[in-house]
Amino acid sequence: MTNETKLNRRYFMKGVGATAVFGSALGSVPVTAAGMGQSSSMSTTINFDDGYDRVDTGSIKFDLIKMFNPGKQLDVGMGIADMDFRTLPQVTAALKKRLETENWGYELPPLDYPANIVSWNKRRYGADVPKGNILNSVGVLDGVLSILNAFGEEGDHVLVNTPTYSSFFTTIHQANMHEAMNEMKLVNGRYEIDWEDFEAQIAGGIKQFILCNPQNPTGNCWSAEELKRMGDICNKHNCLVIADEIHCDFVLDGAKYIPYASLGDEYAQNSISLKSTSKSFNLASHRTGYLFSHNRAHIDKLLKFGHQRLLLNIMGMIASNEALKHGDAYIDEQNAYLTENAKYVEKFCAERIPLIKYNVQDGTYLAWLDISALSEKLDAKNKAIEITAYNVANNVMKTDFFGVESIKKLGTGDYLKEWFMDNARIDINPGENYGKGGEGFMRMNMATNRKMLELALTNIEKAVNAL
């Protein structure tokens, strides 16, 4: 072994980024063709119509929801944002091969992993990712939390465009900070930024903004003009852009995803981007993601503040690496299937459930359903108030994921969630979970096979017709 490829314990313990190790210390190790920008992807041989039965597999989407709702029947889980498809065959094959090695000592990640991250972003989106500035993260939110802690202080406010991913609020609170909500406007079926409010809040002293691109739950794939306008305001007022782009591989019906850091150096230098294969290839249980910045000082600051993730779970890194090498056709075929799912939901609602309105969005596999008319017909707001009053008076409890009990208090969205479970036997998420502007909406996961999607919509139709 040459000095160039020698890795010792002391070097690992310094906390350098994974790509600093792979990009320099192992610079002489050859990588695969895919890692050099050539995809070896062929037909995936996946039939998305087959779906995948996840009941009794420990799935949160199906099994945990049933545990939390004893005595209720669940036909289709459509809440948690993961997919009911088999993953890429090459991923499964690589994991099976690794299991044949019956030793689990300290192990290097795949040596071509950083190169394959760079290659995927370049060939799919024309985006340059600096290989030496990539850091691992235990999922995207782990990276977001590290960024908040490194670049902010306790008590800070962090800006988000709402409605937005509900776990952003949890992560902001974990950093002992507060969310600041820039409520978007729904204009002709598409969400737009309230620019006056956006700039006023940032000019008021906000130093970190979490950009969701594509946007969860609305499905917006932001245009270059929109991204630059957000970026110009942030740059003007010294506000760091934290770009969560975990849904970037899901673009529907001819839409386009534009990486924030690809807009130009002035945007790249004042931002940190986060991505993962966890959504794209349904690998969330592996807890593997990555972040990067074109600004090396940002990476150094994260390392200084303790973001040390050099050695993640080896199975997750193997899975992610194989996906990036071989996943092009899988993603293309999957997006085509999800586009047809979205069109199916749009047509079904328009023709058979007029109380629910939905238009196909740009990206993600999440349908943002306007159920305001149904909510009004159910008198959901008053029903939620009545049930909450009863529960408080009679000490009716609920138990959360960690076993903590509390009085069961219902908002309007909580009541609607239970109504869908009781009457349509499906689980979907209340719009209120996603902040200001979420009232009157529900988020429904469409990443399942057509048979299950039809079952869910038919169940809803029957429940609505029974009113």
How far is Cα 86 from Cα 88, in angstroms, rounded to an integer?
7
How far is Cα 348 from Cα 276, in angstroms, rounded to an integer?
32
Closest CA to 395 of 407, 403, 386: 407
Closest CA to 276 of 294, 285, 262, 288: 288
Q: Which residues contact 325 (CB under 8 A, 6 or more apart)?
A: 32, 34, 35, 39, 40, 41, 90, 112, 116
Contact 442, 166 (CB under 8 A): no
CA-to-CA separations, 179 to 176, 184, 275, 314, 398, in angstroms, rounded:
10, 15, 22, 34, 26
Contact 275, 245 (CB under 8 A): yes
* pLDDT at residue 43 in the model: 52
Backbone phi, psi, residue 206, to 5°: -70, 130
Written as tens digits, the pLDDT of the chain (467 aa) is: 433 333 333 322 333 333 333 333 233 233 333 333 334 444 567 888 888 788 877 777 777 777 778 888 899 999 999 999 999 999 999 999 999 999 999 998 999 999 999 999 999 999 999 999 999 999 999 999 999 999 999 999 999 999 999 999 999 999 999 999 999 999 999 999 999 999 999 999 999 999 999 999 999 999 999 999 999 999 999 999 999 999 999 999 889 999 999 999 999 999 999 999 999 999 999 999 999 999 999 999 999 999 988 888 999 999 999 999 999 999 999 999 999 999 999 999 999 999 999 999 999 999 999 999 999 999 999 999 999 999 999 999 888 777 888 999 999 999 999 999 999 999 999 999 999 999 999 999 999 999 999 999 999 999 999 99
Q: How many CB atoms lie within 10 A of CB 107?
A: 12
How far is Cα 15 from Cα 411, in angstroms, rounded to an integer?
45
Contact 346, 252 (CB under 8 A): no
Contact 227, 127 (CB under 8 A): no
- Reduce the DSSP state of residue 29 to 3 states and report it: coil
Q: Which domains does the chain have, with CATH numbers?
A: 60-85+329-465 (3.90.1150.10), 113-326 (3.40.640.10)
* pLDDT at residue 26 in the model: 30
* pLDDT at residue 118 in the model: 98
How far is Cα 140 from Cα 60, in angstroms, rounded to an integer?
18
Write down how long the chain is.
467
* pLDDT at residue 4 in the model: 35
CA-to-CA separations, 313 to 14, 143, 245, in angstroms, rounded:
19, 16, 22
* pLDDT at residue 202 in the model: 98
Does the predicted model carry a pTM greater than 0.85?
A: yes
Q: Which two tokens stand for residue 315?
A: 């199975």
